[in-house]
Amino acid sequence: MYTESIENYLKAIYELQREWGKVSTNALSEKLGVAPASVTSMIKKLSEKKLLTHKRYQGVKLTRAGQKIALEVIRHHRLIELYLAEALGVPWDQVHEEAEKWEHVLSEDLEDRMDAALGHPTRDPHGSPIPSRDGTIIELDSIPLADMRPGQHGVVAEVSDHDPNLLRYIGKMGLYPKTRVKVVSVEPFSGPITLKVGDASHVLGAEAAQYVFITDVKGNPGEVI
Amino acid sequence: MYTESIENYLKAIYELQREWGKVSTNALSEKLGVAPASVTSMIKKLSEKKLLTHKRYQGVKLTRAGQKIALEVIRHHRLIELYLAEALGVPWDQVHEEAEKWEHVLSEDLEDRMDAALGHPTRDPHGSPIPSRDGTIIELDSIPLADMRPGQHGVVAEVSDHDPNLLRYIGKMGLYPKTRVKVVSVEPFSGPITLKVGDASHVLGAEAAQYVFITDVKGNPGEVI
DNA sequence: AAATTAATTTAGATATGGCTAAAATCACTT
DNA sequence: AAGTGATTTTAGCCATATCTAAATTAATTT
């Protein structure tokens, strides 16, 4: 088994890789909240263990072995998040923090039991896909709500879980995964977005809209006024 | 917060204190599976933090502060054990291992949720008392099954959870907490014990009988043949 | 009371995963 | 092509929690 630290590095690298393609020392440093120099020495170690490849000054890339471990940790994380929400009613803005710790000590047996109790789910409470045991993951094709135009509508696919405050804010307007939304208007200069969620109308700040991802986008894109 | 290591030391000290009164360096070393020298240096640290008192070559004793932390960890451990057994059907010989890891990363909020979901339980699956949040614990008055005499009967109060094999063995004859048992005969020289559990009759080895604790013991003690 | 044995402590080493400060490299501008 | 600023790496240090080997203290035996 790998240390908690190693698991966290691999997970972070996987996520950055998916979002930005390449993963720099600084990006990792910021995401993990450690000094760049610490990242460099960990990279060296992970490279020796063949969990990633590294070209000096050029960033890292997970090997197959590294990705496998990353996906196992992510599977733990997301199963735990969903389990806590479903079975114990933990609010969706708190499940992430709890899962951050528990994911590293969850046994495979308990993982399987939770998976079965939840009916082999495919999405966590934030809409993120839960990798299967063998490391298959189906990422959704979605765009940030911030990129939508007036008149377009779609379905909330996924919401970033990095900030509990953001989740509470988003939750207040009912923007949970699988919810239909329609963009009514968009203010210029990265301004707020007015949208319909069911019968209700909400105004959402531009920054928050970066973190809400929409799938199944349809409708004639109108002008940004 | 304290490190996982510190929590484990405090828990171990609490348990040894309860069982043997005083807690020697060697006893801790054995219980924790670390070298005696390592125990000495940790004792020094815990003593500086005022979590225990130590007289050189004379063993240690938890302070009130140390005991409070020990009981918090034990509460976590036992709530987790019961939760896993009840909610996820984890067999009673596996819950201990899972709880050993999880207990150190459980939030107070989740502790409360599990406690509520279980209806504020007072015993874990092995019959051990679950301390309350404020650190109150009600230990049962019980004797080892090995000390019972033919003709006596009683109720299983608690079973040691230190060895999964033992738990499976004990489970096979239905010796779960709250089960009535009657001692039929006891072989001499610390020999096996024949007992009735419900309608069934079982023979139990003397060593295993050291780890099963009986309360409410009644009946005329007969001779050990 | 001295010698032996057992328990405990001290001293010094190791691995992990952080840190800061300084050096090296890269990327961009002029 | 050289200079500047940002990024990355190197070098060396620190804390935690282990270890082994040696020294000390306590307990027991003769």
Residue type, A101: K
**A223 pLDDT above the threshold of 90:** no
Among candidates B64, B61, B67, B57, which has minimal Cα distance to B25? Answer: B57
The whole-chain average pLDDT of chain A stands at 96
Q: Identify protein residues whose C-beta is within 7 angstroms of any atom in strand C.
A: A 3-6, 8, 33-35, 37-38, 41-42, 45, 56-57; B 24-27, 36-37, 39-41, 43-44, 54, 56-57, 59
Helices (DSSP H) in A89-148: which residue ranges?
Answer: 95-102, 108-117
Nearest CB among B84, B104, B110 relative to A90 is that of B110
Secondary structure of residue A153 in the 3-state scheme: strand
pLDDT of residue A64: 97
**Stretches in chain B below the pLDDT threshold 70:** 223-225
Taking residues A112-136, what's their average pLDDT? 98
Reported confidence tier of residue A224, pLDDT bands at 50, 70, 90: low
Max Cα separation, chain B?
Answer: 56
**A100 pLDDT above the threshold of 90:** yes
- Give nearest nucleotide to B32 (CA–C1'): D18
pLDDT of residue B115: 98
Query: In 10 A of CB B35, how many CB atoms?
Result: 10
With beta carbons less than 8 A apart as the criterion, state whether B123 and B129 touch: yes
Q: Which nucleotides of C are covered by protein (CB under 7 A)?
A: 7-12, 16-22, 25-27
pLDDT of residue A222: 72
**Encoding tokens for residue A215?**
């799938």
pLDDT of residue B49: 96
- Give nearest nucleotide to B33 (CA–C1'): D18
Structural element, H or E, at residue A64: helix A64-88
Which residues on chain A are in Cβ contact (under 8 Å) with B84?
Answer: 110
pLDDT of residue A221: 83
Which residues on chain A are in Cβ contact (under 8 Å) with B113?
Answer: 88-90
Whether the CB of A3 is less than 7 Å away from nucleic strand D comes out as no
**B108 at interface of A, judged by CB pairs closer than 8 A:** no
